[in-house]
Amino acid sequence: MYELPEFNIKKRERKPFKGWFLIGAFLLGVLGGASTSYVFYLKIKQEVADAGVPIIHSEKIIEKEYIPQTTQEQKIIDIVKENSPSVVSVVAYKDVPVYEQTFQQDFFFIIPKLEQKGTERQQVGAGTGFIVSSDGLILTNKHVVSDKEAEYVVIMTDNKEYNAKVLARDPVQDLAIMKIEGGNSFKPLKLGSVDDIQIGQTVIAIGNALGRFQNTVSVGVISGLGRTIVATGPDFATEKLEDIIQTDTAINRGNSGGPLINLKGEVVGINTAVSTEGENIGFAISIDKAKRSIEQVKTLGRISYPYMGVRYIILNKEISKARDIEVDYGALIVGDNEPAVVDGSPAQKAGIKEGDIILEINGEKITENNSLAKIISKYNPFESLNLKILRDGQEIYLNIILGEWEE
């Protein structure tokens, strides 16, 4: 409804009005428009009803019984119904300062001033997670629970809320493990393997889209495998993620940490990032990488990785040609304004020097698709490895005992 501004109105002598024809024309136009609009509304209403879409009438939803048109469609519906109860919304709360604006008189000026009036518990973030054990372990993204001062609550599909504690944040991957407090009987999702997926395969994403729309479902395909990306988190920190799954399934803000599920009902990835440079380009971390973190938390109570303590670049034909290097594979140890070999690290103790090229680890060749980090991630801290190194044109062999890298 529009409100007209007030005007000073002077009384006038009433005179016969001669504009009845105009009013009549106007009313006919209004009635005609209303009639047209009503017909248009009825047409849309009928089309929507025919399509099986719920129609909202004063908060009452009328749904037609839907019959799936294909076997695959029925399978997707069944998988969503089966797995949605195990997908949770992860909400971060924090006591934040509350300020009040006051004004201070300073001679001829009034100066505005902000004064803190205590703190208030507020929601500061939201994402998704999913249950991976019956005792309430939850897998999510590290950037969803990156604030170590925040308190976390998980919300189930039946709107039950539980406090949750972050048990471990993965120091290498964008993963974190949480534990529901106050519960002991939960249904975990089935974990699959990336070894069983192919490009073009149908997958389903479930998540807390935009931090508001719980258990939003989207369907797409696997668009690529073995991708390497550099992701930027909410704190603008960047992280390099390797061996990532690419999908055209819609992954919106708030979906982070949710499961990517195949048509067997198995989790094959953890939805992690989306490209801002294109449409329908999302990325998920392989569930195979997450399995290692889950098992470590169960057995050790933490997530740890082996490390060597070197900075390097992976050689290829272009880099080797530009640097006049005789081999086109391996890891060139180079610092680029930082120490190439970290002081006191396993690499320094093993005798690795800047300019060395590590060609193989335990006989496994280092390439662009099989990086140094990828190879050593297969081993445990304190294991001994044999390195084949090219130094000043000569091949040498060194043994290294891996260190432990914790959060």
Asked whether the beta carbons of 400 and 352 are under 8 A apart, the reply is yes
- Is 256 considered catalytic here? yes
Q: Choosing from 86, 89, 146, 174, which is the catalytic residue?
A: 174
Which of 117, 173, 111 lies closest to 140 in space, CA to CA? 173
Tell me how far apart the alpha carbons of residues 242 and 174 are, in angstroms, rounded to a whole number. 11
- Burial letters 312-324, b for 16+ CB under 10 A, else e: bebbeeeebeeee
- Is 174 considered catalytic here? yes
The DSSP 8-state label assigned to residue 29 in this structure reads H
Do the strands 190-191 and 266-274 form a parallel or antiparallel pair, or are they unpaired? parallel
- Is 328 considered catalytic here? no
Which of 265, 248, 241, 246 lies closest to 141 in space, CA to CA? 241
Asked whether the beta carbons of 297 and 137 are under 8 A apart, the reply is yes
Half-sphere exposure of 111 (CA within 13 A, CB side): 8
Q: Copy the structure tokens of residue 350.
A: 């093993």
Which residues, at least 6 apart from 79, have a Cβ–Cβ distance to it below 8 Å?
204, 261, 263, 265
User: CA dist 16 to 20, 24, 123, 368, Å?
Assistant: 11, 17, 65, 92
Which residues, at least 6 apart from 187, have a Cβ–Cβ distance to it below 8 Å?
85, 86, 131, 134
Burial (0-12, 13-18, 19+ Cβ within 10 Å), 237: exposed
Q: Choosing from 143, 218, 223, 286, which is the catalytic residue?
A: 143
Q: Choosing from 89, 256, 293, 304, which is the catalytic residue?
A: 256
Asked whether the beta carbons of 238 and 265 are under 8 A apart, the reply is no
Catalytically annotated residues: 143, 174, 256
